[in-house]
Chain A
């Protein structure tokens, strides 16, 4: 059974810092991996989707990398801002028609 782990559960950094959020998964045979953002009391918003054949994806100040062999993905946030404060979840998919398995998320607080 696939398990997705995100450690630490919470992180607090000063504004302007570059930071890395980690995601690990137990079964390396994945179809794709997705990073989401969730603001308090809101739904999830997809940030980046990495297919199994890809090593990384970039969107603005966000860069997500994927290393299937080691069962790891990282979300890099450059020059963090208070508006980046949210919970970040990663999720993996085993196959094209499989369900997503979610990590429990990392709650990020960026201090002004």
Chain B
């Protein structure tokens, strides 16, 4: 069966520090991968998606970037965090292109 992992589970970082969040999927090949952010009291916002290694699409301009160095690995990064980057970051995958399955998420607080 397929599983999706994210780490770390929680993170507290100062403004201006770098960020690296990792997501890996097991049990499937060539999944579509997604990064979402959920700010407090708000809906899920798509940040990036990837249909293959090295292929990244960005949905909104922001302080973040994404990379897909391997088929089942998706990384979210920032060189300098802003207060507004705080939120719940969720990685998701799909094989069919339709139903998406989410990882456990990383709760980021920028102080």
Whether chain B is bound by chain A comes out as: no
B: which residues have CB within 8 A of A? none
A: which residues have CB within 8 A of B? none
